[in-house]
Amino acid sequence: LLYTIKFEVIGRGMAMVTRYTNCLVLREDELRSDDLWVADGHIIDPKHHFWSSRRMADKTYDCQGKIIVPGFIEVQINGGFGVDFSSDLENLEENLAMFRKNITQFGITGFCPTMISSPSAAYHKALPILRKERGNVVQGAAVLGAHIEGPFMNVEKRGAHPKEFIQSEGLDSEERIEEFFGSVSNITIMTIAPELPKACDMIGILVKNNVICSIGHSNADIDEAEAGVNVGATFITHLFNAMEPFHHRDPGIVGILSSIKINRKCYYGIIADGIHTHPAALRIAHRTNAECAVIVTDAMAAMGLGDGSHCIGSQSVMVTGRRAVVSGSDILAGSVATMNSCIHHFRKESGCTLVEAVNCATKHPAQLLKCSDLYGTLEFGTAADFVIIDSDVNVLATFIGGDCVYKSDNFVGFAA
């Protein structure tokens, strides 16, 4: 995904150079007492800048001892602020624009809008709107392509997905896939149950067309899960949820975390909201395979709104506190958690370091999406998408392309 480069001219042919000082900067998996330098929408090497231009920074900001980390990347989010990416498609473009601006308050600088199982016509209408777009100060967070969660899933593990839209077997040709979805060019991730007939054929075709395949909403045993990975899947959708529980004779999809029979790295999403996944399960996952953990919120339309009746796709959902369920049942229906709160909870309950927790929302999802040359890191030459946080992962300011797109009222003294 190419990144917008913003030029702010200072004199002839020279771009604005900004220095952020008095801070800890996350680089190379450690927090360093360092400065962050930004120009042309990218992180720059201050030494190279000085010796090549003989210039100091045009602006310097005091970060008051706070922490600078890469912008958070969300790969599974159904909506928020009253917006649902699977419904009200007539107003989706307007709703998406509003969502992109609001989500930055939680440190998210790029996200994959997620659609739950829907009829074919809905994908034809929504996917052109959910197109990949760069983030910037005007539009907000980057759209990194859609996550299509279903409808090729096991009906027994559909969760909040409408039963009438579930497809019982995969599509075994490019022509059939395009007939169902339209162009797949705006699909970044697709969740598929690998045990379905023709599912592995579908995974192979999608991967060849640059779609990341994830296994989930599935009754797969360990052999079926490994088969899905070995034909191209590189992600697991919300580990532990909507899948067979771990069993010592057949660990199912959970067993992928320690499998020696897969031929590629397989990341896994984990909802660290304190509702979907028990703290002991968080610890088991992290201690088994820390380098592949990806924190997701799986947030739905009620995120940011509070208690009451809301929707996810065509399903009615009731929210009470931090818990969202399909109305009239105890079936979990996504979450109302924010990314920064999930990072904090993951760190606390897994016992990992702040750096390890932040990596699960920055470095690892960027690696999954194959965009770590620009995102998920603060190395020189990468996009200046970053977040200023405190030690409890409260978001104080969010920057996209070096521009401040959100600043907390609690961040007193920082003029942006």
How do strand 403-407 and strand 79-80 relate by DSSP bridges?
Answer: unpaired
Spell out the alpha helix ranges (H) of 3-77. 46-53
Q: Which of 84, 221, 298, 403 is catalytic?
A: 298
Bridge partners, residue 236, by sequence: 215, 268
Q: How far apart are CA 127 and CA 200, in angstroms?
A: 23
Give me 326's structure tokens. Answer: 């399909």
Greatest alpha-carbon span in the chain: 69
Active site residue 298: yes
**Single-letter residue type at 345:** H
Q: Which residue, 149, 169, 299, 124, is CA-closest to 212?
A: 149
Q: How far apart are CA 118 and CA 160, in angstroms?
A: 12
Q: How far apart are CA 190 and CA 210, in angstroms?
A: 11
Dihedral angle sign, alpha carbons of residues 238, 240, 241, 247: positive
Bridge partners, residue 31, by sequence: 26
Cα R_g (the chain), whole angstroms: 21
| Spatial contact of 189 and 148, defined as CB atoms under 8 Å apart | yes
Q: Which residue has the tokens 């009470």?
A: 320
Q: How far apart are CA 184 and CA 86, in angstroms?
A: 17
Q: Which residue, 184, 166, 167, is CA-closest to 175?
A: 184
Q: How far apart are CA 63 and CA 404, in angstroms?
A: 13
Known catalytic residues? 298
